[in-house]
Amino acid sequence: MDIFIQQIINGLVLGSIYALVALGYTMVYGILGLINFAHGEVVMLGALTAYSTITGLLGLGVPLPLAALAGLAVAALLCMAVGYTVERIAYRPLRGAPRLAPLITAIGVSIVLQNGAMMVWGRNYHAFPNLVPERQYDVFGATITLLQVLTVLLAALTMAGLMLLVLRTKLGRAMRATAENPAIAQLMGVDVNRIVSLTFVLGSALAALAGLMVSANYSIAHYYMGFILGLKAFTAAVLGGIGNLAGAMVGGILLGLIESLGAGYIGDLTGGFFGSNYQDVFAFFVLIAVLVFRPSGLVGEKVAERA
Amino acid sequence: MLEVTGLAVAYGGIRAVKGITFHVNAGELVALIGANGAGKTSTLKALARQLPAAGSLRYEGRELAELAPHELIRAGIALVPEGRGVFARLTVEENLDMGAYSLSGRAGRQALARGLERAYALMPRLKERRAQLAGTLSGGEQQMLAIARALMGEPRLLLLDEPSMGLAPLMVQKVFEVIREVRAAGVTVLLVEQNARLALQAADRGYVLESGEVTLADDAPRLLADPRVRAAYLGE
Ligand SMILES: Nc1ncnc2c1ncn2[C@@H]1O[C@H](COP(=O)(O)OP(=O)(O)OP(=O)(O)O)[C@@H](O)[C@H]1O
Ligand SMILES: [Mg+2]
């Protein structure tokens, strides 16, 4: 088995998930200049909601593909509702407040969501059902599962759809205009509050999909999973250049690759001193390195704003 | 068309506009002139509902306060803000499209096509640059774009905040030509300017704003001849 190729494949899968979550961070940051630290918890809610829906439906004898689709739909709807509500009641009243206030609020919101989830789903790990047949394919001496293929494909399709929406539609144009200058967008007739709500709702739908994918790929869901995942996706967004959609995608994939290659080789590199359980450390090395050496991220703004 | 009574704007303790009264009749071009800090921008921002303001702002018989800020354009009011405010990261054509954001449906699409044609006819330079990011345009081109964008929404009342600011004389001429054409097409214009001579030459009537108060109001030719205006604003 070729370790290098295998880790590339694993990295791509992980990276596509990070990218989906990172998009949520970056879209909200682009429009409001707010880092929505509660976003990771929305991913967790998506995973647990999908878990309950799918196991519940399977218990009723609903066929697996149908149950999986329903799980995704219910998770997406719930996450969209949560994203919308959080913006309305927690962030909107603080619009125009000093930046620290919404940041602290975001941390408060994540605590509320996490503990709420703990009350509903308990502290236990839940075994996530297999959503697709366990089929494997050989590529250059490594194996890729059907689930991995579907994960990457679905993530890519979703992101392509989002880019089409943002770059090619009237609504997307209004989103970009609002991100650049809300006061002027308003003069053109854009209802800025609607755009902000929409941004949260879209980001939350992506988070729900990502939550389902994480849990499907790692066969597990629990109330605490959103914290580390959110932090990593945030790292990915910063790596790509926060506020930049393409950057979030590039950053997500890159971080996934760095992590899984790092985990694959750290044992050899340190003579077995560190094991692959140090995987999480790489993300935070990356975060610190980016913040120190290139705070604007890899896909920095290239447009000169002339007076 | 627009009737402003006792408009007052304050920033904290600073009273920038101190209860001014003026009006703009349909079809008119009215100039509002004044020195730096006189309160011109504050007045326009209050009209565009970007600032909390006291007093009555009646537009076509209704209070502007009844409208949310994003509904103004549908009511027929467009503002070209001070410093242009084009969307630098959108292309020229996307900026123009944004100007027509409030128009929807089939009528909207027709208006959009009509507006683009008109904008490009009025300012051929914009057509050459339409796929370029607006942030890469020159200052004068950005000003043209800002005006063209405001016209895309087919406003009946156009508010212009210092369209000549920072432009070379030739570009200033061009901007004023466009303003005259817009007015000739039937759009009512409220023009804020420091360049008093040009503004009053183009205008029907004018108001002089000093430290937040209207000190003179008259027909534009009479203001141009007024010794106080000549001394304070025309450098004579
Ligand atoms: N955001 C603000 N906070 C505090 N004071 C302000 C603010 N905006 C404007 N002012 C003050 O209000 C007064 C009027 O400002 P305004 O921008 O309306 O002037 P203006 O006539 O447009 O001037 P200019 O010709 O320089 O653009 C000024 O004294 C200014 O310092
Ligand atoms: Mg001003």
User: Which residues in A lie closer than 8 A to residue B143 (C-beta atoms)?
Assistant: none
Mean pLDDT of chain A: 93
Is the minimum distance from the CB of B37 to ligand 1 under 6 angstroms? yes
Tokens standing for A173? 């144009």
How many domains, in total, are found in chain A?
A: 1
In short, whether B38's Cβ falls inside 6 Å of ligand 1 is yes
B124-148 confidence digits (pLDDT tens): 889 999 999 999 998 888 999 999 9
CB contact under 8 A, A174 and B70: no
Position A199 scores a pLDDT of 97
Distance B161 CA to ligand 2 centre (A): 7
Chain B neighbors of A190, CB-CB under 8 A: 70, 98, 101
| pLDDT number for residue A56 | 97
- Kindly state if the Cβ of B40 falls inside 6 Å of ligand 1: yes
Q: Give the integer Cα–Cα distance in Å for B192 and B158.
A: 11
In this structure, which amino acid lies at residue B193? Answer: E
User: Is A298 inside any structural domain?
Assistant: no
Which element (helix H / strand E) includes A136? strand A136-139
Residue B9 CA, closest ligand 1 atom number: 12
Write down the H helix ranges in chain A. Answer: 3-32, 39-59, 64-86, 100-121, 146-168, 170-180, 182-187, 192-218, 225-240, 245-269, 279-293
Residue A215 lies in a domain: yes
Q: Do residues B88 and B79 make contact, with C-beta atoms less than 8 angstroms apart?
A: no
Interchain pair B79, A187: CB under 8 A? yes
Distance B18 CA to ligand 1 centre (A): 13
With a cut of 90, say whether residue B7 has pLDDT above it: yes
**Is residue A261 helix, strand or coil?**
helix
Q: Whose CA is nearest to atom 26 of ligand 1?
A: B36
**Which tokens hold the place of A60?**
């009723």
Which of the listed CATH numbers 3.30.540.10, 3.40.50.720, 1.10.10.10, 3.40.50.300 matches domain B2-233?
3.40.50.300
Contact B85 A176 (CB under 8 A): no
Chain B residues in contact with A197 (beta carbon < 8 A): none
Tell me if B26 CB under 6 Å of ligand 1.
Answer: no
Span A14-39, mean pLDDT? 96
The whole-number average pLDDT for the span A193-207 is 98
With beta carbons less than 8 A apart as the criterion, state whether A171 and B72 touch. no
Average pLDDT over residues A3-12: 94
CATH, residue A90: 1.10.3470
Let me know if residue A60 belongs to a domain: yes
Asked if B136's CB is within 8 angstroms of A303's CB, the reply is yes
What ipTM does the predicted assembly reach? 0.92
The per-residue pLDDT for range B85-129, each reduced to its tens digit, is 899 999 999 999 999 999 988 988 998 999 999 889 878 889 999
CA distance A100 to A34: 10
- Picking from A186, A304, A306, the nearest residue to B70 by CB comes out as A186
Instruction: Collapse the DSSP code of B44 into the 3-class scheme (helix H, G, I; strand E, B; otherwise coil) and give the result.
Output: helix
Q: Is residue A307 part of a domain?
A: no
Distance B36 CA to ligand 1 centre (A): 8
Tell me the pTM: 0.92
Across the interface, whether the CB atoms of B101 and A188 are under 8 A apart is answered yes
Could you tell me where the beta strands, DSSP code E, fall in chain B?
Answer: 2-11, 14-24, 29-33, 54-59, 62-63, 77-80, 157-161, 188-193, 205-210, 213-219
Give me the mean pLDDT over the B41-63 stretch.
Answer: 95
Q: Residue A15 is part of which domain span?
A: 2-293
Which of B102, B137, B142 is facing A188, going by the closest CB pair?
A: B102
Pair of tokens at residue A290: 């980016």
